[in-house]
Amino acid sequence: MKKMVVRALVGSVCGTLITACGTVSTEQRTLLQERTRTFAVLSPDSVTSVATTDREIASALARSAYEASGVDRPKDLEHNEHIRGLSVEVDQSSNITAYYRDNYRSLLKYKAATFKVATTNDGKLTTVQVTCPASIIAYDNFKVGDGGQFYSDRDVAADLSRICDGLKISINRYKYVKTELNTQFPSDSVFANFSRKLKSSQDQGKVKAYDIEKAKLFIFSLGKTNFDLALSVFPYRSGSKVIYGFNYPYALLGDGTTTFKPEEVATIQKSIAAIAND
């Protein structure tokens, strides 16, 4: 069974840089009842047959921790000297560390909690088990003043509970769809139709045209989602041939399903064919 760790650190620093900050103290305190969350993720991906990695899972959990937390991301309060808020990082071992910061220069005070994550794979699904923490580790390396406003145990417990409740997995993926179709109309007319009905992408470096073809990168809209459509048109027999490709966005979810919709891909292809034959 593979192990990953999600660590939540609540940090605070105060005052200016001085040499005598007092004695370092570390204390473990129980704040909550231990709880477990379980997820299932397709691996390999049923759409592209690509395996789902522990790092992808960890990154998805980290994003959901940001979304569920009641603490904002770090803000610069005093010219990079005082930084307060939540930051979440994924390390090389797919561990996740979330820092609740209230930092002033280098004097540190934090509270740490560990979300233990274990994964197993049966060849089709990766089961993800997250054990939400019951206790925190409180660390203090200064004793000068009160360090300004600091996250209380009650605040920390409430936020850890929110994160545990809000943990979810949504992993963004893309399916590359490439199609060609023939049309009875001249290539200049077909290309003009696409240029008239679709906006041009700012990034045109991905499309290289041969002498006999017209090629361009367009923006195709699908609901609220925009994606690049690479299109090439050239003379073919008595009409023209259209070759196009696009990355269809979808997600792997933590309930073992995917948002991929074959019928939606078919609708996009029909829309492109309609433009080519207009």
Average pLDDT, the chain: 83
Asked if residue 99 has pLDDT above 50, the reply is yes
- Please state, in angstroms and as integers, the Cα–Cα distance from residue 229 to each residue in 64, 245, 266, following that order: 30, 6, 15
- DSSP-derived secondary structure for 109-164: EEEEEEEEEEEEE-SSEEEEEEEE-SEEEEEE---SS--SS---HHHHHHHHHHHH
Higher pLDDT, 14 or 86: 86
Higher pLDDT, 276 or 97: 276
pTM, two decimals, is 0.80
Q: How far apart are CA 163 and CA 139, in angstroms?
A: 21
Which range among 11-25, 97-111, 243-257 has the greatest average pLDDT? 243-257
Higher pLDDT, 180 or 211: 180
Element (H, E) at 178: strand 170-183
| Per-residue model confidence (pLDDT) at position 212 | 60
Q: How far apart are CA 49 and CA 3, in angstroms?
A: 24
Q: For 106, what's the count of Cα atoms within 13 Å in the CB-facing half-sphere? A: 5
Domain ranges of the chain: 2-168, 173-276
- For residue 113, what pLDDT band results from cuts at 50, 70 and 90? confident
Asked if residue 136 has pLDDT above 50, the reply is yes
Higher pLDDT, 118 or 251: 251
The answer to whether residues 88 and 96 touch, using CB atoms and an 8 Å cutoff, is yes
Which of 6-10, 74-78, 156-160, 184-188 shows the lowest mean pLDDT across its residues? 6-10
Closest CA to 235 of 216, 215, 217, 213: 213
Class for the domain spanning 173-276:
alpha beta
- pLDDT above 70 as % of the chain: 79
Q: How far apart are CA 212 and CA 146, in angstroms?
A: 74
Tracing tokens 């054990």 back to the chain, one arrives at 131
Q: What number of residues does the chain have?
A: 278
Token pair recorded at residue 92: 């090389």
| Per-residue model confidence (pLDDT) at position 4 | 52
Asked if residue 14 has pLDDT above 90, the reply is no
The predicted-structure confidence for 20-53, as pLDDT tens digits, reads as follows: 445 677 888 999 999 999 999 999 999 999 999 9
The predicted-structure confidence for 147-159, as pLDDT tens digits, reads as follows: 445 678 898 899 9
Cis peptide, bond prior to residue 262, ω within 30 of zero: no
| Per-residue model confidence (pLDDT) at position 24 | 73
| Per-residue model confidence (pLDDT) at position 10 | 43
Q: Side chain identity at 139, as an amino acid letter?
A: Y
The predicted-structure confidence for 226-257, as pLDDT tens digits, reads as follows: 889 999 999 999 999 999 999 999 999 999 99
The predicted-structure confidence for 48-89, as pLDDT tens digits, reads as follows: 999 999 999 999 999 999 999 998 887 665 566 777 777 777
Q: How far apart are CA 51 and CA 121, in angstroms?
A: 10
| Per-residue model confidence (pLDDT) at position 91 | 74
Distance of CA 268 to the CA centre of its chain: 25
The predicted-structure confidence for 194-210, as pLDDT tens digits, reads as follows: 999 999 987 766 565 55
DSSP 46: T
Sort strands 82-90 and 75-76 into parallel, antiparallel or unpaired: antiparallel
